[in-house]
Structure 1
Amino acid sequence: MPSFLKEFFKRNGVGMGSVMLGLVLFWTIGLIILPQLSMLDFSFRPNLPPPEIGGPKDVYTLENYKYLIYGPEGGSQDYNAVDLRVFFRTLVAAVCVTVFNLILCYPIAYYLAQTKGNHIRIFALMLIIPYWINEILRAFALRIIFGETGVLNNLLVGMGLFDTPFDFIRNDIALYAGLGYAYILLMIFPIYNVIESLDRNQIEAARDMGASWPMIHRRVVIPYAKPGISSGCTMVFMLSAGALAAPQILGGPSSLWFTQLIYQQFNDNSDWPQGAAYAVVLLVTCILLVLAIMRLFKVNMGDIGK
């Protein structure tokens, strides 16, 4: 038995350790790895009627992946411009949502971590309570707020800032705001958990030496909070790129999300192999982007797991 397992069972006991290990393995293998492998297998299969599945025509093929790049055979364009445009726009939008959340949440996380008092608990509770409501209901609430006759437009028109209501839905402002709001806690609390352990004496020492607040954050706080920042950015980016409810409810007519294409392939077109191929491409691309950014900023997987 490996030494880390011996230490694990020694700390938790054989019974409890076996239960915990079994649950982790069930979660990892049964609910993550096996479904993804099944999805990967589907992506290489042709779309056949049920009676022909498993027959001589049911062989592995790359056609589902070629469709994303080249579109249907005999199409009017050399490339599948529509789907590729939606794919890259989804990734860029997910990056923008992640950067927006980081800029918004870093000061909040720093304030929560470095300020003491009961009012901080109340502030944290006010952040958490809205997330007791289902994500779909929150998305519909945001649609009401950002609608042409919604609260925000009524306020702006009433203040005289706009003569006519502004279409926040069609301009994707509601969508990006909804995505940023949906995952704000996933950015705040990883950063908060790291900054909370930062010794305030380091900040005071930097201030005594004449460092400005921007320099203190750039040289002291941000390098120390890098694991929390990496963890928060990873979760927000992956979930934003894979979001479905917010784009469906808050997206305008021209803001098609790549997950909506996947949904259409699975449910509207009943083309599970094509939908699986699109899902695999999105998953692999997001993982490669995250790994590339981690390498660029010199962050390893152990930092994210802290």
Structure 2
Amino acid sequence: MTAGWREFTGRHGIGVALFVGLGVGFWVLFLIALPQIAMFDFSLRHNLPRAELGGPNDVYTLSNYAAFFRTSGGQANWLDMGVLFKTIVAAVFVTIIDVLICYPIAYILAHSARGVAARLMVIGLIVPFWVNEILRAFAFRVIFGATGVINGVGMGMGLWDTPVDFIRADVALYSGLTYAYILLMIFPIYNAVEALDRNQIEAARDMGASWWRVHWRVVLPMAKPGIASGATMVFMLTAGALAAPQILGGPSNLWFTQVIYQWFNDAGDWQRGSAYATILLVSCMLFVMLAMRVFKVSIGAIGR
């Protein structure tokens, strides 16, 4: 740590080093740590009237967490636990789709596209994200709606006779979430693959390795930290998404963030909402750590 700080200071100067250090410290302390600590403290409190705050009834409790697992009648709270499980599974599904789509794009951008083609690819990836996320979600609802573009084209070509309900089938939701975070997957993979020496790929091809074997044995080991970094961001943001599930989700679809939103805003129970938000955060972190262990990727490798 000290050696790294000295190297950074020697390369960029003490002024830049202090600016970066203070900026990162402010970000971590005031925008991440303190809000999470405040939310955790809220989750351990009773939902009391304002007049009773600070009084004898204002004590710490685990009842908000217990309510996630059991209802007031003592029965298992399968509804909330099922919604959390479904949210995590859906986030994994979206992450896998993003990896499958973004890996070849990142590889082409790093090792195949040159000059104007590379610049056009980058522009084509970035410019659509100038549009607000909510507007893009509504655009997907228009595209996948009963009178939308896809149903219009499909019915016009005679592929189906009646409109397909892509909203109820969650096709629109998964498509919107996959598109929403695609850049967060492409650029980490691109940064990892770009560092790969092209001579290694050419050597593998000269030795008769097939296309898939070159990627499996040469490219993927190099890209694994980038894939892990992108997958972590996409998974966490997908599991914590609210706008897209609200706009694109079907009537029978409920995202866990919507449950949290209901406790905070509809029920006015910030303590229960904080507990549910903490449960979501801890569940996602544990899942990510488990996945990193399974795929043998360290945090240090992701940081590079």
Deviation at residue 52 of structure 1 after TM alignment: 0.8
Residue in structure 1 matched with residue 98 of structure 2 by the alignment: 101
Aligned residue runs from structure 1 range 84-233, under 5 A: 84-115=81-112, 116-233=114-231
Map 1:258-273; keep pairs closer than 5 Å.
258-273=256-271
Q: Which amino acid aligns with 1:233?
A: A
Deviations 1:132-189 (A, max 9, x none): 1110000001100000000111011101111101000001010000000000111111
Q: Give the TM-score taking structure 2 as reference length.
A: 0.97
2:62 maps to 62
Q: Deviations over 1:277-302 (max 9, x none)?
A: 00001101111111111111110001
Please name the residue that 1:48 is paired with.
48
Residue 295 of structure 1 aligns with which residue? Answer: 293
CA 1:105–1:3: 2 relative to 1, 3 Å: closer
Unaligned runs of 5+ in 1: none
Instruction: From the superposition, tell whether residues 256 and 16 of structure 1 become closer, same or farther in structure 2 (CA, over 3 Å).
Output: same
137-146 or 16-25, which moves further after superposition? 16-25
* 1:225 partner SS: helix
- Letter paired with 2:49: P
2-structure distance, mates of 1:210, 1:6: 47
Deviation at 1:3, TM superposition (A): 4.2
> Distance in 2 between the 1:21 and 1:142 partners?
41
Residue of structure 2 in register with 1:74 after alignment: 73
Aligned-pair CA distance for 1:9:
3.1
- What is the alpha-carbon root mean square deviation over aligned residues? 1.2
Unaligned runs of 5+ in 2: none
Aligned match of 1:38: 38
Residue identity matched to 1:92: V
- Structure 1 runs of 4+ off > 6 angstroms? none
Q: Alpha-carbon deviations, 1:99-143, whole Å to 9, x = none?
A: 011011111111111112311210221111010111000000110
- In 1, Cα distance between equivalents of 2:4 and 2:301: 19
Give distance in 2, aligned partners of 1:5 and 1:105.
34
Query: Matched residues in 1 for 2:303 and 2:98: separation?
Result: 20
CA–CA distance in 2 between the matches of 1:168 and 1:292? 33
Q: Which amino acid counterpart does residue 91 of structure 1 have in structure 2?
A: I
- State how far apart, in whole Å, the 1-side matches of 2:183 and 2:5 are: 33
Q: Residues of 2 paired with 1:279 and 1:296: CA distance?
A: 26
Q: Helix, strand or coil: the match of 2:296?
A: coil
Distance 2:252 2:205 in 1: 50
For residue 289 of structure 1, what is the amino acid of its counterpart? F
Q: Distance in 1 between matches of 2:4 and 2:214?
A: 39
1:68-120 deviations in Å (ceiling 9; x for gaps): 0002x226xx2112111111000000000000110111111111111123112
Structure 2 counterpart of 1:19:
19
The amino acid across from 1:103 in the alignment is: L
Deviates more, 1:8-17 or 1:263-272: 8-17
Task: Give the SS at the match of 2:103.
Answer: helix
Residue correspondence of structure 1 range 229-240 to structure 2 within 5 A:
229-240=227-238
**Secondary structure at the residue paired with 2:195?**
coil
Identical counterparts, % of pairs: 61
Note the 1:236-247 alignment, pairs <5 A: 236-247=234-245
Q: Which amino acid aligns with 2:70?
A: Y
**What TM-score does the superposition give when structure 1 sets the normalisation length?**
0.96
Structure 1's 203 and 179: CA in aligned 2 closer, same or farther, altered over 3 A? same
Q: Would you say how many aligned residue pairs link Structure 1 and Structure 2? A: 303
Amino acid at match of 2:10: K
- For 2:167 and 2:26, locate their aligned partners in 1 and report how far apart those are by CA, in whole Å: 41
Does the residue aligned with 1:123 lie in a helix, a strand or coil?
helix
Using a 3 Å threshold, how does the CA distance of structure 1 residues 108 and 7 change in structure 2: closer, same or farther?
closer
> Which residue identity lines up with residue 92 of structure 2 in the other structure?
V
